[in-house]
């Protein structure tokens, strides 16, 4: 292979290599990235919102269950529904960054992931008054750019240890709970979706219907359920602590047309 071809291949591997963490076998080798935390705690997380059709129902159910969670929001959704972002924060939940759009980092032009991650982080801070601590890439696919950008913006990348496959047209509350069940253990980070923005229409109902059962099973096992900030990822007995910020309306940049 010619030297320039080796360089190109090396750069491509460097760019795409972190994306392998999407694979369960690789995540098991990277417990902090997967979200392994306190063995007495389970982190509950939701992706892709906020959506006025569904997110308020999740907030109501979490309130009924006396449970807090981490919501990984898309910037484009939060920009449309900032009042929902404020409602999430006022209810005591964490608001974290899922990017601006639900784009695969490995298929996005250079520079866009970093720029949109920063825009989303600024928007979260402006809407909620709290600097976000966590970043989960869309599809769980990281790139070298995403890792560098997350560090630059003060965000910690985290994926999940178990998900409910709640985004499909075939999903039901029972199927979501059965899929989650093997992963309902101490230290787990659970992934569900509070809207169908990037999923099958109405699929969020399956996640909502499974929520009480998942929390009940964790509590029956003596496990606490809560947000990532209380999960102690990579820091035994610790956790990320958010910083309060002022939230002037002009604090963030609107997305490009």
Residue 108 Rama label (left phi>0; alpha psi -120 to 50; beta): beta
Q: Which candidate, 173, 179, 247, 221, places its Cα nearest to that of 41?
A: 221
Is 193 part of the annotated catalytic residue set? yes
* 250 contact partners, CB below 8 Å, separation of at least 6: none
Given the residues 38, 47, 48, 166, the one annotated as active site: 47
3-class DSSP state of 144: helix
Q: Which candidate, 60, 95, 32, 22, places its Cα nearest to that of 235?
A: 32
Q: How many CB atoms are located within 10 Å of the residue 62 CB?
A: 23
Q: How many CB atoms are located within 10 Å of the residue 219 CB?
A: 15
* 28 contact partners, CB below 8 Å, separation of at least 6: 34
Is 243 part of the annotated catalytic residue set? no
Given the residues 93, 98, 193, 231, the one annotated as active site: 193
* 215 contact partners, CB below 8 Å, separation of at least 6: 44, 65, 67, 225
Catalytic positions, written as ranges: 47, 193
């Amino acid at each position: 292979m010619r030297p320039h071809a080796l360089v190109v291949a090396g750069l491509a591997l460097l760019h795409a290599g972190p994306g392998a963490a999407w694979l369960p076998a690789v995540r098991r080798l990277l417990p902090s990235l997967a979200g392994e935390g306190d063995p007495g705690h389970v982190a509950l997380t939701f992706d892709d919102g906020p959506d006025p059709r569904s997110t308020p129902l999740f907030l109501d159910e979490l309130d009924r269950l006396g449970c807090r969670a981490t919501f990984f929001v898309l910037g484009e959704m939060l920009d449309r529904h900032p009042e929902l972002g404020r409602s999430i924060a006022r209810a005591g939940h964490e608001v974290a960054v899922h990017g601006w759009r639900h784009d695969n980092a490995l298929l996005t032009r250079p520079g866009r992931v970093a720029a949109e991650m920063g825009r989303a982080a600024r928007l979260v801070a402006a809407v909620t008054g709290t600097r976000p601590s966590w970043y989960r890439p869309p599809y769980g696919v990281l790139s070298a750019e995403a890792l560098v950008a997350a560090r630059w913006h003060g965000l910690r990348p985290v994926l999940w240890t178990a998900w409910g496959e709640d985004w499909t047209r075939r999903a039901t509350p029972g199927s979501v709970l059965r899929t989650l069940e093997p992963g309902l253990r101490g230290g787990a980070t659970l992934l569900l979706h509070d809207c169908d923005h990037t999923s099958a229409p109405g699929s969020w109902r399956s996640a909502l219907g499974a929520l009480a059962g998942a929390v009940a099973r964790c509590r029956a096992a003596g496990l606490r359920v809560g947000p990532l900030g209380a999960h102690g990822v990579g820091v035994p007995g610790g956790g990320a602590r958010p910083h309060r910020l002022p939230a002037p309306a002009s604090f963030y940049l609107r997305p490009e047309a």
